[in-house]
Amino acid sequence: MKYPTFFGIDLTSTEAKPSACLGLDGKSQLVYLGFLTKNRDIVALLNLYSPQVIAIDAPLSLPLGLCCLEQSCTCKPKFPRKNRQCDQELRQQGIPCYPTSKKTFIKDLIYRGIELKARIGCRTNQICQVIEVYPFASKARLFGETVPRKTTKQGMSFIRDKLEDILPDLKLYSDMLNHDICDAAVAAYTALLYHRNKVDVLGSSEEGVIVIPI
């Protein structure tokens, strides 16, 4: 594909459960929507489209000092905060997020996110940027801090309406817009905003950053 594209991936913690993937072009038009299971299939899709920015909804790094998240390992975080600086900055803005310490309950998701980022970097045909996003934070910035829970009927109706306003092509797929596809759409739109320099970058390049819309 010669035109610029921007992808969002709502990554699951295991390849046994499909991950929602959505791609946009530079005019916010839909170029891909679907579910993939294996990391290799996700990488193959990205190789096909050669996106400028890939936004993954999963932690893509560990707190400084940690080599893993195993309780049995002697590695320790460099700072007393234990979680990453970007996580702390989100919380300081009143946006709760998942822990990234050794006590996290999303260990498998973190490992998979780090692995996928590495595989994208090794195997994509062209230079691209892989960024970490958090759709809950993106929705708070884009649609206001009182976004209803996505697991409720009210929440899904709210987010569908908001997304269809900024991504009109999604109206054609309204019936299949579950919360996974919606999160992938938010991730892809955040990737596009990153390309347009319309985002805030939380954290440090040394440890890892989270990108959210201005």
SS3 95: coil
Q: Per-residue pLDDT tens for 85-117?
A: 999 999 999 999 999 999 999 999 999 999 999
SS3 210: strand
Q: Per-residue pLDDT tens for 126-155?
A: 568 999 999 999 999 999 867 777 777 887
Contacts of 43 (CB under 8 A, 6+ apart): 116, 119, 120, 123, 124
Which of 184, 31, 213, 56 lies closest to 130 in space, CA to CA? 56
CATH numbers and ranges of domains, the chain:
5-213 (3.30.420)
Which of 147, 143, 151, 137 lies closest to 187 in space, CA to CA? 137
Q: Per-residue pLDDT tens for 18-72?
A: 999 999 999 999 999 999 999 999 999 999 999 999 999 999 999 999 999 999 9
pTM recorded for the entire structure: 0.94
